[in-house]
Amino acid sequence: MNRIRLAVIGAGAIGRKHIDVIQQTPEAELVALADPSPQAQTLAASLGVAWYADINDMLDRTNPQGVINATPNTLHVPCAIACVERGIPVLVEKPVAESPERAQELVDAAALRGVPVLVGHHRRHNALTAAAKTLIDSGELGNIVAVSAHWILQKPDDYFDVAWRREPGAGPLLVNLVHDIDLLRYLLGEIEEVQAMTSNAGRGFANEDSAVVNLRFACGALGSAVLSDCGVSPWSWEMNSAENEIYAHTPENCYLISGSKGALAIPQMRWWRYGEQRGWHAPLLQETLAVEPIDPFILQLRHFLQVIVGEAEPIIDAADALRSLEVIDAIRQISQKAA
Ligand SMILES: NC(=O)c1ccc[n+]([C@@H]2O[C@H](COP(=O)([O-])OP(=O)(O)OC[C@H]3O[C@@H](n4cnc5c(N)ncnc54)[C@H](O)[C@@H]3O)[C@@H](O)[C@H]2O)c1
């Protein structure tokens, strides 16, 4: 079988993860990197693949069957549109764009050309997510009443040595909370209303470093999310899910979901419910759902290959990712008003 020829645009932190995953996937072949940095040129030479400083040169000369776009946020839309205009399916890292307006441009371009766009909300491909979704949809938790999400960790100071990560729009709302919003929308349905406050008191950058957010879901559930990239804590998807070995694993939970019949703590997958007697005098029964770990980036790439050959529609397309971005944008606007 011919391997599917892929190119990666942006060979930074997450671009290198995508490259590793391509190399672990026998059905895929990395044919080119586009990234103007000298580090990317060196990497391309070490991998024996073509290197281009300019993405248009790369697309025109190597004509890949699919592209992974792992550039900084503000380049997601122009790079993805360059692919779409050439009829090349593209996996765009999250957030799909830096603003809903920019995301809409990509939604429109993809629809006009009929080219699939998959957005890199990789947590959706995680087996933990699938297990949680199955339990919630089975009705075993009853009507979902409340959810509490934590994303608190301390990014190393040198993470911010990269200029774009300090620029407006690259704070943890757009870079990190957008993952949680996507996951909560997937598990519980659409979000109708938000309240929020943000702070930059921890790092003192132009971007927020911490935020608290209240959410009202269309299903009637209420939620709260607390996030910070400068607080010490064991509660975040990165540290709790063990999905990526670059983060120290801490077996705690970062999502607590409560329904009228039961509760689920994710990602340790502890399921709580009553036996014959209900109410606060009765003991809760607890079991742990067994989930076979598999790297969601590998599953995401396998899905992207199916999308490229027309065997699947993107499970998160640009229009879906735009809805998560609209929630983030509402949070940003409300927190600015509150400041
Ligand atoms: N899915 C995830 O879990 C995840 C994790 C980290 C980052 N991300 C997202 O991936 C994107 C990249 O983040 P990162 O931390 O890897 O950033 P990074 O700064 O480490 O890497 C970005 C790369 O893009 C390159 N680049 C800059 N301009 C370019 C251009 N015009 N053409 C081609 N390449 C160009 C840079 O040289 C750099 O190598 C961000 O949007 C971020 O939100 C997603």
Give 62-95 pLDDT, tens digit per residue: 999 999 999 999 999 999 999 999 999 999 999 9
DSSP β-ladder status, 191-199 and 66-69: unpaired
73 lines ligand 1 (CB under 6 A): yes
Instruction: Provide the β-strand partners of residue 288.
Output: 270
Q: Whose CA is nearest to atom 21 of ligand 1?
A: 12
Q: 330: buried, middle or exposed (CB in 10 Å: 19+, 13-18, 0-12)?
A: middle
Phi-psi region of 110 (alpha: psi -120 to 50; beta: other; left: phi over 0): alpha
DSSP β-ladder status, 144-152 and 222-228: parallel
How many other C-beta atoms lie within 10 A of the C-beta of residue 190?
11
Find the farthest-apart pair of alpha carbons in the chain and give their distance in angstroms, rounded.
Answer: 70
**pLDDT classification of 167: cutoffs 50, 70, 90:** confident
- Each residue's pLDDT tens digit, 281-329: 999 999 999 999 999 999 999 999 999 999 999 999 999 999 999 999 9
pLDDT reported for residue 214: 98
* Dist. CA 310–CA 116, nearest whole Å: 9
Which atom number of ligand 1 is nearest to the Cα of residue 122?
1
Which atom number of ligand 1 is nearest to the Cα of residue 121?
1
91 lines ligand 1 (CB under 6 A): no
| CA 317 to centroid of ligand 1, rounded, Å | 19
Gap between the terminal Cα atoms of the chain: 58
**pLDDT classification of 145: cutoffs 50, 70, 90:** very high
- The structure tokens listed for 221 are 């559930």
Long-range contact pairs involving 103-109 (C-beta distance under 8 Å, separation at least 24): 103/77, 103/318, 103/321, 103/322, 103/325, 104/322, 105/77, 105/81, 106/76, 106/77, 106/80, 106/81, 106/318, 107/318, 107/319, 107/322, 109/80, 109/81, 109/84, 109/85
Dihedral angle computed from the Cα positions of residues 189, 193, 195 and 198, in that order, rounded to the nearest 10 degrees: 60
pLDDT reported for residue 336: 86
pLDDT at 190 over 90: yes
**pLDDT classification of 1: cutoffs 50, 70, 90:** low
- Each residue's pLDDT tens digit, 100-115: 999 999 999 999 999 9
Q: Whose CA is nearest to atom 36 of ligand 1?
A: 10
Among 57, 93, 167, say which to mutate for ligand 1: greatest number of ligand atoms within 8 Å of CB. 93
pTM value is: 0.96
Mark out the alpha helices in the chain (DSSP H runs).
Answer: 13-23, 38-47, 55-62, 76-85, 100-113, 127-138, 172, 178-188, 237-241, 296-308, 318-338
Residue 232's φ and ψ, nearest 5 degrees, are -75, 130
Q: Which residue has the tokens 């329904």?
A: 259
pLDDT reported for residue 38: 98
Which atom number of ligand 1 is nearest to the Cα of residue 162?
19
Which atom number of ligand 1 is nearest to the Cα of residue 175?
43
Residue 313's φ and ψ, nearest 5 degrees, are -90, 150
- Give the three-class secondary structure for 299: helix
> 196 Cβ partners below 8 Å, 6+ apart?
211, 212, 213, 214, 331, 332, 334, 335, 338
**Residue type (1 letter), 315:** I
Which of 167, 86, 88, 77 is closest to 119 using CA atoms? 77
* Dist. CA 9–CA 131, nearest whole Å: 32
296 lines ligand 1 (CB under 6 A): no
